[in-house]
Amino acid sequence: MLELRPNCECCDRDLPPASAEARICTFECTFCADCAEGALKGVCPNCGGGFAPRPIRPAAKLVRYPASTVRVLKPEGCGAT
């Protein structure tokens, strides 16, 4: 099950579970659309894979299967790979 991480790893933008702006790679690294498509040019800096829009978990399922509250942030930001 997806963790639904709460933020962009580059800019620390909040990405709530219903955000259409969240992008993930196959390892579930999470970035906002601006960073994924802009600074990262569609390539995950952690694994080298591509991005896809993160699915939105129905609100009713969030009660039983909550989103992660653990924030992951690359201290060097989007510029480093």
Q: What is the CATH number of the domain that holds 21?
A: 3.30.40
pTM of the model: 0.90
Please, which pLDDT band fits residue 2 given cuts at 50, 70 and 90?
very high
- What was the pLDDT predicted at 81? 47
Whether 80 maps to a domain, the answer reads no
DSSP track, the chain: -----SB-TTT--B--TT-TTEEE-TT--EEEHHHHHTTTTT--TTTS---EEPPPPPHHHHHHSPPP------TT-TT--
The tally of domains found in the chain comes to 1
- The predicted-structure confidence for 26-77, as pLDDT tens digits, reads as follows 999 999 999 999 999 999 999 999 999 999 999 999 999 999 999 999 878 7
Which structural domain range is residue 46 located in? 1-63
